[in-house]
Chain A
Amino acid sequence: MEAAQPKSVKRVPSYCYNCVSGPDLMNVKVVDGVATEIEPNFAAADVHPAKGRVCVKAYGLVQKTYNPNRISTPMKRTNPKKGRNEDPGFVPISWDEALDIVAGKLKAVRAKGLLDEAGLPRVAVSLGHGGTPSNYMGTFPAFLAAWGDVDFSFGSGQGVKCVHSEHLYGEFWHRGFTVASDTPNARYVIAVGANVDVTGGPCAVTRHADARVRGYKRVQVEPHLTATGACSAEWVPIRPKTDPAFLFALIHVLVRENGLEKLDIPFLRDRTASPYLIAPDGLYLRDPQSGKPLVWDENTSSAVVHDTPGAKPAVAGCYRVGKAVVVDADKERREYSDVEGKTAYEMLSEHIEKYSPEWAESICDVKAETIRRIANEYLEAASIGETIVIDGKTLPLRPVSVTLGKSVNNGWGAFECCWARTVLAALVGSLENPGGLVGTTVRLNKSRDNRHLSVAPGEDGFMVQYFNPTSKEEWQQSPSTRNLHQTLVPIVGANGAWSQALGPTQLAWMFQNERPDDWNMPMPTLPEVWLVYRSNPSISFWDTRHLAEIAAKFPFMACFAYTVDETNYMADVLLPEATDLESTQMIRMGGTKYMEQFWDHKGVVLRAKAVEPQGEARDFTWITTELARRTGLLEPYVKAINKGISGVSPLKGEGYDFRLDPATPPESEQVWDAVCRAATLSLSEGREEHDLKWFEENGFYTVPMSRLEWYLTPTMERHGLRYELPYQERLMRAGRELGRRLHEKKMNWWDEQLSEYTALPEWHDVPGRWIRNLEKTGAKAADFPFWLLTTKSMQYHAGGNAAIEVMHEVAQNMRGHAGVIMNAKTAASLGIAEGDRIEVRSHIGATYGKAALVQGVRPDTLVIIGQFDHWATPFAKTMEAPSLNSIAPMSLDLTDATGSGADIVRVAVRKIEEAKAA
């Protein structure tokens, strides 16, 4: 209700993309020029899977706009000393001065050359969570493209702290940078830590709610009863980081106890490498002439190349092959004659024999009978043989999947989990088929907006892959980025900024301080200029207190700044950008995107400026254009915009040309008007053209999309390609080559990581790695008897919104926010009561919070929600909320072969203060 009668009320269509599960649509209610409310945009109800609704975070955007703690003018640092205990002494300056300072530094870099003496980019850029900043930074990507070499090594939210192994292996196996259940058709989902009702955004929440009412079963396997666990049919409180053992045991039940005849044989035979024959040395047996992998043709009872027309490859069994070769690392060929070849499936079957439910029980603390029951329920629900008609095409309906959550699918053990769950899908034919396990987007391959376009024939009957080379000639022995992504991680590739950003970020931070003794590469340098937007690694990374000290050493740092925060506390210049409701941008929506954003439509949506920016905050596109102009990059910058780099569509296409003049700095409205027109003409194939004004009224434009685009398998079938499962010959070879390269340089510090390159993953006491790590530092394992984990909350997940008061208020309705969740019985045994202030201490430090006692967590596990422990961000610093990040180490020991770690650490806990009465 309003106190006085308003003079004008309008609703401005917009979007929320504060987390990767966006965009979702909304309207901003503006009363007499003031944004007062966020509302769903029901005009999108028919095209948006969540019917035009946004999640709780969006309802904090009004406060975000008017928060008095915002940086309202450009600022510069007056205290040359940097550090947590050094007041930066920020003073307001004009935009002219601020931009000149930043452009001056950038020009100086260009004068010297984009790469420094170590061959590393002099400019580093950090952008926050999961690519979401690009939905708010206007044309900045065009500026970065115009700039050239940039180091994204220090990126924080994205990459190694995300679902990293899923990103890499998901994209490798089935173009699933993010992987989801096909919830609209699902009947049985095993969610191993996947907290989808919290992080999946409105689309996932809506779909899973529909699925519950429809009667699907979701089994949540996780040490802590999350909101998603709460909404599941069953909760399996597994011991932290033992998920691979659980998943291996599921495979065991399917393969060893049920057997091939109950599995999806046609899928395994035709769409996977299950029939490929493996030599005794573990490599594919290949045809000596063509080099193609061999299969055993049941029709002719002979070994033939995998793509022989009319052949019926045997999925299981051992067969004698007359003549064959294998190709090992560095293309070393070995010849075989009269050799026994086992099919890849046979190898899997033998490999998985030892991983029985009884074996897993002692590791996972989950009863063998439970594991066996779940596996059998999964198999039964897969309804092998059932079909569904989608847009006239008959496809298999395999409504089962295994989804993985953060810290299950990053860090040690994650490769094994990703492999196991993808194999589980392949065994029943649910991989990329209706109802099953689907990838929803790609980031390491192109095109980003249509993953099907990334499917093309590559080696050995598989999809084309762009690994970082590991051959003697091509291996990058002098790193091109500070996180060494091309040097150390073949699978991450080098296909643009995303490959970089998914490199081992912690190495970039760690190696600034100390390096292994056998570090035989150029010494890493500090970036001369560090630009940061929507990223606060001093809160969101690991060992954050230490990280902030390293960041303080960076010579020049400019931050696009909303409020002062723990990272920009070290900045030299703060640039206040117009925030969500104050600026204009168009992005793509629909199609298939992150998480469960796969729609029946695809299109574009405009974030229209709803209100004037507060203070001196400026539209990001204006800031970017000014930076381009002042650094002399106007022409390449505008050309990049014309190419469509800042989003949506190239400005020139068939039948239209809205390209901007590269000699004139474009106005923001001019840019987006051109984008609006180009986007609509391109989407409608020339039928419709809408300008910025139209979008300011209507918000979005879509065209229908076939559901067939949700599933990759039909595309694979069209190309006659197989998924590279279950046997990982290529990865094994890549690992061998990488090992050789490193050892040739006399470097052994990555040896432990090389052990991950196996054809069939083995269990290797994953949790033990964390215990050994702390023992290595001289600490006693017995002194740190608990696991500490993190979990997410919808109110804060990825939102960068810790400064928003209303989020804190509503988050308090959920158990555990701003506290430490622990088992009530465990707490009682330690004399800890609800609300007592407790210390949680790891071997590197302590964090403090109030005890939140629950039954829904394992007795050996503590959980902290989100990433807090702020000391500079206004409002957030008064919350006294703890954080795992403050006490979780960055360590090579805890870095897996993909370069990721996990949010887990061993801790001790003690009471330090009684709860105060409410």
Chain B
Amino acid sequence: MKPFNPRAVELAAPKQQRNWDWRAAANFICGGAGGSLLFCAAFAGLDLSATRIAVFLGLALIGCGLTCVWFEIGRPWRAMNVYRHFATSWMTREAVVALVVFATGGLALLTGSKLLLILSGACGLGFLYSQARILAANKGIPSWRHPASVPLMISTGLAEGAGFIVGIAAVFSSDPGNTLLFVLLALLAVRAWCWRRYLAGLTATGAPVAALKVLESLGPRFHTFGNGLPAVAVVAMLVGLPGRSLMSLLAGMLVVASGWFLKYTLVRRAAFTQGLAVNHLPVRGRGPSGPAAKPGWKMMPGGNRG
């Protein structure tokens, strides 16, 4: 972490978080996609070699994310202490789930067992869920702690997993099949809805102005390139336009890339802290008191608190 010497005027206002850099973001980016890919691989009905590739890729993504985090934490050689707080810490739970994911996923990779595949898929979903909850448990970051961030993280994870499967199918298998395409289409719709719900929810409950600005500017691009374009491609495939393989690959890549960009934005660029506030300006001698001051926030109508 670089020394951070904010100016006095910035101290009370929400600040972009500086402790989780690209390495932490990579864990959410890769881990969520990886967990979801394992889940999708278990049910996509791809042939064994493509399934194996998907599982391998899923595990690799999770491993890559966790490695990045390992490089970020202050005391990497004590990393095993992460298992000490299963009762309430979603980070502990994520780490536990990760162990099971690697165990089941590894065995599934080796044996090709359907049961292990399903188990690893379930664990992958669990991993995705844990990550969503890690973010949401952080009360210090209003754009994370909003309850709608959980379905958003899960929905984008699932869409990314499905995007990967469609891409893998296009490259390593003959055809993704219409069912898979319908599922992807549905997941894109769900993700778009979750995003809308999240942003609307966040705006309604209040968030740092700077965070809302970042998120609001993300919306149109995310919808266009992340949901709209892939959906058009999927529909084009479904109605039988030519170039199905290439379109599958492109659609999958767009879904994944947009999800990753969304998560990067969420974890880094839109991650503004709560900031500090004063509920009542104090009375100085015989002077008046004053209304609340909450720098960096738009005051919510009807109250001092936001």
The chain A residues found within 8 Å of chain B, CB to CB, are 211-212, 215-218, 230-234, 812-817, 819, 834-835, 850, 852-854, 918
Contact = CB atoms under 8 A, between A and B. Distances in A.
State the 4 A-B residue pairs at the shortest beta-carbon distance, nearest first. A233-B287, A217-B286, A212-B285, A233-B285
Contact of A853 (B9, B283, B287, B288): B9
B284 A231 contact: yes
Contacts of B78: none
Chain A CB within 10 Å, residue with most, of B4, B9, B283:
B9
A918 B8 contact: no
A852 B284 contact: no
Interface in B4-39: 4-11
Given A212-B285, A233-B284, 17 more contacts: A215-B286, A216-B286, A218-B284, A218-B285, A230-B284, A232-B285, A232-B287, A233-B286, A233-B287, A233-B288, A812-B8, A813-B8, A814-B8, A834-B7, A834-B9, A835-B7, A850-B7
Contacts of A852: 7-9
A212 B286 CA distance: 7
Contacts of B6: 918
A813 B4 CA distance: 13
Nearest to B7: A835
Nearest to A217: B286
A815 B285 contact: no
A233 B284 CA distance: 5
Contacts of A218: 284-285
B8 A216 contact: no
Given A812-B5, A918-B4, A217 B287 contact: yes
Contacts of A815: 8-9
Contacts of A215: 285-286
Nearest to A850: B7
Nearest to A214: B285
Contacts of B283: 212
Contacts of B10: 918
B9 A217 contact: no
Nearest to A854: B9
A411 to B, nearest CB: 30
B9 A212 contact: no
A232 B8 contact: no
A211 B5 contact: no
Contacts of B9: 815, 834, 852-854
17 contacts: A216-B285, A217-B285, A217-B286, A217-B287, A218-B284, A232-B287, A233-B285, A233-B286, A233-B288, A812-B7, A815-B8, A850-B7, A852-B7, A853-B9, A918-B4, A918-B5, A918-B10
Contact of B285 (A211, A816, A834, A853): A211
Contacts of A817: 8
Nearest to A212: B285
Is the contact region of chain A dominated by helix, strand, or loop, or is it mixed? loop
Contacts of A217: 285-287
Contacts of B7: 812, 819, 834-835, 850, 852, 918
A254 to B, nearest CB: 20
A125 B285 CA distance: 45
B287 A234 contact: yes
Contact of A212 (B8, B11, B284): B284
A232 B287 CA distance: 7
Contacts of A854: 9
Interface string B246-282: 0000000000000000000000000000000000000
B204 to A, nearest CB: 29
Interface string B99-133: 00000000000000000000000000000000000
A812 B6 CA distance: 8
A813 B6 CA distance: 9
Kindly name the residue among B11, B284, B287, B288 whose own CB sees the greatest number of chain A CB atoms within 10 A.
Answer: B284
A813 B11 contact: yes
Contacts of A230: 284
Contacts of A834: 7, 9
A814 B8 CA distance: 5
Nearest to B4: A918
Contacts of B284: 212, 218, 230-233
A850 B11 CA distance: 17
Interface in B61-77: none
A215 B283 CA distance: 9
A232 B283 CA distance: 9
A513 B27 CA distance: 70
A776 to B, nearest CB: 38
Contacts of B288: 233
A385 to B, nearest CB: 21
A867 B173 CA distance: 74
Contacts of A835: 7
Most buried by B among A217, A234, A812, A918: A918
A814 B11 CA distance: 10
B2 to A, nearest CB: 10
A215 B285 CA distance: 4
A231 B288 CA distance: 11
Contacts of A853: 9
A813 B285 CA distance: 24
B287 to A, nearest CB: 3
Interface string B237-250: 00000000000000
Contacts of A812: 5, 7-8
Contacts of B11: 813
A771 B1 CA distance: 50
Interface string B175-201: 000000000000000000000000000
Interface centre among B5, B7, B8 (most CB of A within 10 A): B7
A895 B287 CA distance: 38
